[in-house]
Structure 1
């Protein structure tokens, strides 16, 4: 759960990259225009840009809260949009981001920013817990769509979580006040240098938690001491911006330099290159959230240590008079080297900054390498390809693979559209193939096989299923098969015929409580007449849930059958755990039995399954030789063209009567 939560936070902040870049560009344009005297605070354009930039910064907590709520809920298997709405609502109301003041609602990002991560995290995790703990309402919701039932089931947990914040928000506020009091520097008892150092530690700690450290500190705590001289001739703010935060929080110029020297590192190098235009003007958001720095234990130590080292080195150098400085007013977004040159009035300050950048790169480099090894699989692929002497072939095929992948996506989309068009133009039908008991030589059931009747009247097999499965669009077919099988059993019942019918459904049906309840309700009038056939690989995703649903079907006298055994994962340990007694052997196993090795394998599989007390159905029996082969192995039931191809329901009763009369 811990790793999934951290993954959700990472995805949440990475998804905000367009916002970070846009906000950085807005501030860059505004500050650049003022720096080069293109506009002044009296210009109309200044007010437009300033108001826009202020609004962007003011909405920052909203985007953070919404993104966190969405990704936590999504990654825990619940509705992302519901999680996002709940997170935004709880943050806006309980975090007092929107406050009522003087008969109007106002945004209050000053006090709400620290809660932009805390409240969405709590609300999303509480929603997940409540969803798991609430009773199942599936018996009341099975007649509505899965999408609607999912949303209806969130109503009670959604409301419970929202109102629960009224109970524990006072505790959060109290804890926040205690933390703020503990972090607030004692202005009277400390030097400007120590106050500046404390501020640096606090702001970097906040950045590591994903909170805009400098803005949050300035909103909650006093920064008046930054205007005072830290050393003769230079204020604390100028010293801090110029010689501590060389290219922004964490001295990211050094980190970029270190990343560029990494070999075989795609992620770190690409992020570094992407951030260069912004880091040059001291914007740090891209590296903080995309590398990422925040909540990354590997990068915590250098992120905190580098500015501390810069502070100590610069303080000693300036206090010893090795670099002369002048207290000039310089913008925080002045690029490194240039700012050092201006503050020192010569190359001394620029040289000091360059040394700090190199020193920072040396410190960051081993941690970036460690980070790269931990999260990047590219290095492993390159090592393997070098070992196998296929490096050049693999690299040269990269672009070809990408183009091929894009073509596959385009083809798949066209394929799906064509399939849906074919189904809409035609008519789906169920045909029935008999299953013959080899002990009593009687028909003991029929498998319902899907057919599509085209507009010209011709019948084709379910060629469209692969495309629907690939795009996860089988729900409508599954429901149609279920409903048509129920209608066909009703048709047989009216004619005094009570056959056992097997239907094939997508494996995901077995983990869908709503559909399982729907099936149980649909076939209540036909006890012991329905079997559900699902390929065995579908049972591997959630064994406990599958077992509960199989048992639920069994209580309604519905049998579950493993279909196409031998083509999927075929986990024998899974078969031992599942409460399933009937196994259907895939036709491909029998076809391979024409060879000696294939026959031996088929024999071993049958013997093993019989030892597990499984009832077997041999599928695809088409010749007398195959029939004699499976009979010799004492396979209980046979299905295939040897007896009969699939028939429309109107011919089933007649066929059954003739078959029984021929055997009597």
Structure 2
């Protein structure tokens, strides 16, 4: 339960971060347009009447208004990816709900108005998040997943089963948003009346806190403040020759909302997070002119509990310090006008006519850096210590995930090998151009001739349609992508187990895991989350090398997973690392004897070794499976050695899910006929 909650929390943070990083090109273009227009307004006001200026200003305004809709689509896509939902479904419900919130049953909406309300509603950022989590909840209710037929494709069945969850989610989200919007409207109305009757200092503090809190939810603070409260007190005099807007430009924002200069300096001093540093470098030219949307949306600040607190605290501290000094009369102002894009220090010199204000600005920046530093360090430590694979493996989309894992590999200094290894690049392209599949090789009882289980085996369907073995696994392991393969197998096996369960078929299945994945907490969490319901039917096959390299960690991992019902088997016993003493130390349930030692039974010593190995393992209480049985002679031998479960091409190769099930059904029928024939023969006179 805790692991699942942690996974959801990580999925939330990663989805938020990637949603706004994906919007960075859009944000950069908007910021660049705003900067160009602001510079023209200040230094070439005569250009404001030109056709080019008018065209550019209208283009910039319309583009800016598109941001909520772009954010809705990006959030829909990324939350859908990490919560394993349909992005089209999440975006559709979000847009549908937004439209429903703007329909007035007492007034006909003029279609000539278009759908401009989609572009200016801040709820567009909240809706896709709420929709994604509610839709995930409703899809988990089996009662409204009415299609169980196996005659339909799984893709078609998935989307048809979305019908009732979508309708339920739409109704729930629209009602929740409508009620909350109404209550907040009433609350803001009362708050507005109280605020208008308060003093200037109270209005200033409320404005600074409100605008920054709104930014933390992805809403443009100053614009939303005026839209919601209808209060624009920026022209009020806070001191002789100083308006409230000028006060915030000089002492509060210092580079933009959140006192961006302090945050940037703290990042460059303390951050070890590559993404954070890259965003800071990208935003630096804009922050110099007090445009900081790149930083707010790129880090992001939005919904980021690790940075929200200092983002609000620093401007409040700046407000208190600046107001105290200004109201005490320690700083005077010349009355000279300065634009909001004028860099700090320069605007302070213009406003005061001396170095007093620039020196105070430097002091406030230093205090802001001191406040930001511990939060930036903590953010970097969290980013360094987290295993991003925990979230990425929830839904394997190899092209996207390889890009993400490659970025982690650069941090681990593995990218150099990846870039120089032409063979590996070729292998990755072949995998991306193909389709990963999971096949199942039956395990057969020599006593009943029935299928007693399967081994899940990875296959690749190439671009030409041929199905080949997983030749790419060693290359992927070498490049650090082994956990992606394991996560694909786990997720696909979970899907197949669910489909089999829906068909009243409950086989026992074993799966192979990379030795490094066994001790990986993220892989353990994924196993429990995806296969926990079927743990009693799952055998995890481990190579002996996993025990040799780190016996204590592997045993602890086995204890953790065994508590959920998983069983463990040594795979490929008899190759490489075989150690008799190891068998006395580890707690496993079974052993699979590798074909390599079966191939040696053509020699007397080989037969003796195989028989004594079987005798030893059985005397220690291990269940034995003979791998690679390909001839009748080999079957006769392993039966004589005391083995009753076999696996190999003599019985069946690895099969697709449905074929594997049909093979088991056929074997059961053949077994029944043989048993019936045996009884009939015994009863005959």
TM-score norm. by structure 1 comes to: 0.70
Q: Deviations over 1:457-491 (max 9, x none)?
A: xx9983647489989xxxxxxxxxxxxxxxxxxxx
Secondary structure of the equivalent of 2:238? strand
Residue matched to 2:580: 599
1:235, 1:327 within 8 Å by CA — same for their partners in 2? no
Identify if the C-alpha distance between structure 1 residues 405 and 418 changes in structure 2 by more than 3 Å, giving closer, same or farther.
Answer: closer
Name which of 380, 399, 405 aligns with 2:418. 405
2:189, 2:229 within 8 Å by CA — same for their partners in 1? no
Q: Distance in 1 between matches of 2:625 and 2:372?
A: 68
Identify if the C-alpha distance between structure 1 residues 183 and 512 changes in structure 2 by more than 3 Å, giving closer, same or farther.
Answer: same
Q: Deviations over 1:520-564 (max 9, x none)?
A: 59x9xxxxxx9765325499644586475588xxxxxxxx78485
1:536, 1:564 within 8 Å by CA — same for their partners in 2? yes
Q: Distance in 2 between matches of 1:111 and 1:186?
A: 31
Secondary structure of the equivalent of 2:469? coil
Residue matched to 1:37: 44
Q: Distance in 2 between matches of 1:316 and 1:584?
A: 72
Residue matched to 1:485: none
The alpha carbon displacement at 1:215 in A equals 1.0
Matched pairs, number: 560
Secondary structure of the equivalent of 1:225? coil
1:584, 1:619 within 8 Å by CA — same for their partners in 2? no
Identify if the C-alpha distance between structure 1 residues 90 and 103 changes in structure 2 by more than 3 Å, giving closer, same or farther.
Answer: closer
Name which of 65, 68, 74 aligns with 1:67. 74
The alpha carbon displacement at 1:78 in A equals 2.3
Q: Distance in 1 between matches of 2:431 and 2:201?
A: 71
Secondary structure of the equivalent of 2:579? helix
The alpha carbon displacement at 1:211 in A equals 1.6
Residue matched to 1:14: 21
Q: Deviations over 1:146-182 (max 9, x none)?
A: 4433333222211221233453444122222133224
Residue matched to 1:126: 134
1:258, 1:364 within 8 Å by CA — same for their partners in 2? yes
Q: Distance in 1 between matches of 2:440 and 2:370?
A: 72
**Residues 1:105 and 2:96 are matched in the alignment:** no
The alpha carbon displacement at 1:84 in A equals 3.0
Residue matched to 1:352: 360
Name which of 605, 608, 612 aligns with 1:625. 608
Residue matched to 2:9: 3
Residue matched to 1:179: 187
Q: Distance in 2 between matches of 1:419 and 1:341?
A: 61
Q: Based on CA coordinates, which of the two structures has the bigger radius of gyration?
A: 1
Residue matched to 2:634: 643
Identify if the C-alpha distance between structure 1 residues 579 and 200 changes in structure 2 by more than 3 Å, giving closer, same or farther.
Answer: closer
Q: Distance in 2 between matches of 1:513 and 1:433?
A: 15
Q: Distance in 2 between matches of 1:506 and 1:265?
A: 31
Q: Distance in 2 between matches of 1:210 and 1:18?
A: 17
Name which of 534, 542, 553 aligns with 2:510. 534
The alpha carbon displacement at 1:37 in A equals 0.9
Residue pairs, 1:221-300, within 5 angstroms: 221-262=229-270, 266=274, 268-300=276-308
Q: Distance in 1 between matches of 2:192 and 2:278?
A: 38
TM-score norm. by structure 2 comes to: 0.68
Q: Deviations over 1:107-165 (max 9, x none)?
A: 55599534233322322221111011143758635344444333332222112212334
Identify if the C-alpha distance between structure 1 residues 96 and 435 changes in structure 2 by more than 3 Å, giving closer, same or farther.
Answer: closer
Residue matched to 1:589: 573
1:185, 1:195 within 8 Å by CA — same for their partners in 2? no
Q: Distance in 2 between matches of 1:192 and 1:432?
A: 77
1:432, 1:446 within 8 Å by CA — same for their partners in 2? no
**Residues 1:79 and 2:55 are matched in the alignment:** no
**Residues 1:24 and 2:31 are matched in the alignment:** yes
Residue matched to 2:219: 211
Secondary structure of the equivalent of 1:227? coil
Identify if the C-alpha distance between structure 1 residues 265 and 185 changes in structure 2 by more than 3 Å, giving closer, same or farther.
Answer: farther
Q: Distance in 1 between matches of 2:218 and 2:293?
A: 10
The alpha carbon displacement at 1:264 in A equals 5.2
| Higher alpha-carbon deviation: 314-323 or 241-250 | 314-323
Structure 1 residue ranges (4+ consecutive) displaced by more than 6 angstroms after TM superposition: 397-400, 419-423, 430-436, 442-452, 467-471
1:210, 1:294 within 8 Å by CA — same for their partners in 2? yes
2:71, 2:124 within 8 Å by CA — same for their partners in 1? yes
Residue matched to 2:681: none
Q: Deviations over 1:317-349 (max 9, x none)?
A: 344544332334432222112211222234333
Question: Unmatched 5+ residue regions in structure 1?
Answer: 379-396, 453-458, 472-504, 524-529, 552-559, 654-664
Q: Distance in 2 between matches of 1:74 and 1:420?
A: 18
Residue matched to 1:392: none
The alpha carbon displacement at 1:285 in A equals 1.8
| Higher alpha-carbon deviation: 291-300 or 639-648 | 639-648
Name which of 317, 323, 328 aligns with 2:325. 317
Q: Distance in 1 between matches of 2:415 and 2:142?
A: 45
Secondary structure of the equivalent of 1:281? coil
The alpha carbon displacement at 1:280 in A equals 1.0
Question: Unmatched 5+ residue regions in structure 2?
Answer: 387-409, 460-465, 480-487, 515-522, 547-553, 602-606, 636-647, 654-666, 668-685
| RMSD over aligned Cα atoms | 4.8
Residue matched to 1:196: 204
Identify if the C-alpha distance between structure 1 residues 308 and 161 changes in structure 2 by more than 3 Å, giving closer, same or farther.
Answer: same
The alpha carbon displacement at 1:28 in A equals 0.8
Q: Distance in 1 between matches of 2:579 and 2:287?
A: 65
The alpha carbon displacement at 1:199 in A equals 1.4
Q: Distance in 1 between matches of 2:327 and 2:433?
A: 79
Identify if the C-alpha distance between structure 1 residues 432 and 268 changes in structure 2 by more than 3 Å, giving closer, same or farther.
Answer: closer
Q: Distance in 1 between matches of 2:431 and 2:73?
A: 37
Identify if the C-alpha distance between structure 1 residues 143 and 542 changes in structure 2 by more than 3 Å, giving closer, same or farther.
Answer: farther
Residue pairs, 1:538-549, within 5 angstroms: 541-543=526-528, 546=531
The alpha carbon displacement at 1:212 in A equals 1.1
Residue pairs, 1:495-506, within 5 angstroms: none
1:110, 1:219 within 8 Å by CA — same for their partners in 2? no
Secondary structure of the equivalent of 1:330? coil
